[in-house]
Amino acid sequence: MAGPSFSWEVPPFQRSTLYDGMTSMTVDVDGTPVEVMIDPERGPVPIKVGGDAPGPNDCFRNPLMTDMDNGWDNMHKRWPNFTATERKVALYQVAKMNKQRKELGRSYWPVWDEEADAKHTEKLLKEIQPDLFK
């Protein structure tokens, strides 16, 4: 009696099309909607602290893959080769980073108050050079 036959052939990689064609997506992070930009070649784009726009090298990287031919610097997997799960995780991780960076920016970079700054400068000048204000 012959047993079942198995094929050990591995099918060729089928790239995920999840988020293809999307330039941004809103992700819920702890009840807060966070918008994440998506670059078609680099994937989710983290913002800078304070919410500033990202630079040309700001992108999410999935490190140390076994197939080193896929990486920008031979250490990272490229967005087009991410699996659907990797894409979901990357999008959520960048959303969390963006939320934290916006919140940190509010406390780290206070809003500049031009009028208060002018009054403070005038006060300091009066102390340093009182003759200017007679």
Q: Report pLDDT for 71.
A: 47
According to DSSP, the β-strands at 62-63 and 43-45 are unpaired
Q: Report pLDDT for 25.
A: 94
Q: What are phi and psi of 25, to 5 degrees?
A: -150, 145
Q: Report pLDDT for 58.
A: 76
Please state the pTM of the whole predicted model.
0.65
Q: Which residues of the chain, if any, have pLDDT below 50?
A: 71-72
Count other C-beta atoms under 10 Å from residue 24's C-beta. Answer: 11
Q: Report pLDDT for 24.
A: 92
Q: Report pLDDT for 72.
A: 47
In the chain, the percentage of residues whose pLDDT exceeds 70 is 75
Distance from the Cα of residue 23 to its chain's centroid: 13
Q: Report pLDDT for 96.
A: 94
Count other C-beta atoms under 10 Å from residue 118's C-beta. Answer: 10
Rounded Cα–Cα distance for residues 72 and 97 (Å) = 22
